[in-house]
Structure 1
């Protein structure tokens, strides 16, 4: 059975957190749609951790096309949702359609993968994350807890249908767990 994955993001999405899941889905022959507030070529950013900085740094990354505007998305047409991080979640979370999409996947108990700052989107539909366990980039902890979720300090956490990751270095295990939710078998290419 073919699965259909939706990725919701916007400008300033972390480059690894959009490209890695997108191409991994394509490798598994899983149709994958990138939706953003406006269908356009999105500017990604590269976040990195430098020893001399107390926070992450940001540089421009590659561009990637979104395939649809969120206004044209019917979440019922998709089997799962990925919410990547970067700075995109800070502004797209205010979009009512983005909130509707996130709420749909939580209410319907469909597989979700949310990483880094992507959990900020979930804080806008707090009625659906009350008591849920999740990890996120550590600077998002106050928002996660204020929304009524339980912040887990691990780099990766699974709570039912919800796979959450700390940041882009956790993408391999994040996608492994996401694919388990989709019941997709991964084959290692050696």
Structure 2
């Protein structure tokens, strides 16, 4: 998965007082998952990929009951290709759609939404290379221009990249009823 797209929402939601469980198929609490940093460098037609951190999982995949959670965050990165093939994850996404609970997906994480067949008629964005996938899934594509924006359509929040985090977290906070005052 993309380093910033898992680390930032995980820690931001915890800082806001949310209970957050991070899981991965065939992994247990305390196991790690490698991440990659996707960077936008001048001269490249696509992002570059560099090794990220080992992200420590804090829950066991097989013990998760989706009905006990108020929202799901789907990070991007190449892990989405693998996770989109997991029937348990697809059933979780469908549960969140049917229950009208917040779903926040970023970058390539939308591949999981495509696999769950839940995008028809929804307004979405993603990393620009995902445009065709979104349209073929029946979604209305919203150009991520600038790439720092994210969009909400009902209970669904989508963003193009980790550069979208301020808007992405803001939209998720709004759907969760979280406000911060000073």
| TM-score in same-fold range (> 0.5) | yes
Q: Which residue of 2 aligns with 1:151?
A: 141
Of 41, 47, 54 in structure 1, the residue corresponding to residue 45 of structure 2 is: 54
What is aligned with 2:97?
106
For the pair 1:134 / 2:136, whether they are aligned, the reply is: no
- Paired residue total: 175
Residue equivalent to 2:163: 169
Taking the aligned partners of 1:173 and 1:164, their CA distance within structure 2 comes to: 10
Contact 1:83 1:115 in 2 (8 A): yes
Match of 2:55 in 1: 64
Match of 1:84 among 64, 70, 75: 75
Structure 1 runs (4+) deviating above 3 angstroms are 68-71
> If the length of structure 2 is used for normalisation, what is the TM-score?
0.92
Of 116, 133, 152, the residue aligned with 1:125 is 116
Residue in structure 1 matched with residue 24 of structure 2 by the alignment: 36
**TM-score, normalisation: structure 1:** 0.88
Between Structure 1 and Structure 2, which shows a larger proportion of strand residues? 1
Structure 2 unaligned spans of 5+:
none
Name the SS of the counterpart of 1:55 in structure 2.
Answer: coil
Preserved CA contact (<8 Å) 2:119 2:134 = no
Report deviation, 1:186. Answer: 2.4
Deviation at 1:69, TM superposition (A): 4.1
The CA deviation at 1:66 is: 1.6
Distance in 1 (alpha carbons) for counterparts of 2:94 and 2:63 = 16
Find the aligned partners of 1:151 and 1:71 in 2 and give their Cα distance: 34
Contact residue 71 and residue 97 of structure 1 kept, 8 A: no
Deviation of the 1:67 alpha carbon = 2.6
Which residue does 2:5 correspond to in 1?
17
The CA distance in 1 between the partners of 2:20 and 2:80, in whole Å, is 19
